[in-house]
């Protein structure tokens, strides 16, 4: 049995984003919804828990394998809001559609999902009212029910 080989770290390709300003999130259903992003957490990717493949034939260590499917984690934003947003949220919540994360360099991540929650924080003197907003990726095109992976576009419009 061969041991794994050492791999040297190469210089990353691409250009890292230097500042998180200005990151925005948009719903195709209501792109001018009355909230103003203050911080945006884009969705992540998660391979899931390891699969235990240990059997009575193992002699020294437990063995595992990776799962086959990837999960997109929730996106969220903290936002200021106009109270009129209540009607807009009622019209958006649990409605599956397209969402876009606009990155500071102009690139975008497009995905299907729905607005899960809009939870205002406590209003206090001396602070701007805010809400915590959660968007759940579904990875399903609501028009035909097909599996749809997130789509990356550069600011030049290419995938």
Confidence of residue 2 (pLDDT cuts 50, 70, 90): confident
Tokens found for residue 99:
């969402």
Structural domain spans, the chain: 24-46+74-153
The pLDDT, as a whole number, for residue 6 is 92
Quick one: fold of 24-46+74-153? Elongation Factor Tu (Ef-tu); domain 3 (2.40.30)
Nearest to 99 by CA among 47, 134, 131, 69: 134
Average pLDDT of 16-36?
Answer: 97
Contact yes or no for 64/114 (Cβ under 8 A): no
The pLDDT, as a whole number, for residue 156 is 75
CA separation for the pair 1, 70 (Å, rounded): 30
The pLDDT, as a whole number, for residue 159 is 63
The pLDDT, as a whole number, for residue 68 is 97
User: What predicted TM-score, i.e. pTM, was given to this entire model?
Assistant: 0.91
Per the prediction, the chain carries an average pLDDT of 96
């Amino acid at each position: 049995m061969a041991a794994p080989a050492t791999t040297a770290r190469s210089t990353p390709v691409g250009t890292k984003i230097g500042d998180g300003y200005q990151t925005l999130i948009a719903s195709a259903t209501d792109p001018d919804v009355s909230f103003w992003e203050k911080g945006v957490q884009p969705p992540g990717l998660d391979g899931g828990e390891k699969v235990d493949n240990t059997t009575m034939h193992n002699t020294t260590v437990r063995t595992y394998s990776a799962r086959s499917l990837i999960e997109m984690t929730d996106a969220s934003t903290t936002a200021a809001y106009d109270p009129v947003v209540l009607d807009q949220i009622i019209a958006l919540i649990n409605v599956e559609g397209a969402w876009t994360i606009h990155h500071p360099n102009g690139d975008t991540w497009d995905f299907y999902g729905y607005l899960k929650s809009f939870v205002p924080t406590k209003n206090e003197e001396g602070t701007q009212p805010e809400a915590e907003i959660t968007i759940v990726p579904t990875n399903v095109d609501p028009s035909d029910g097909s599996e749809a992976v997130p789509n990356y576009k550069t600011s030049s419009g290419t995938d």
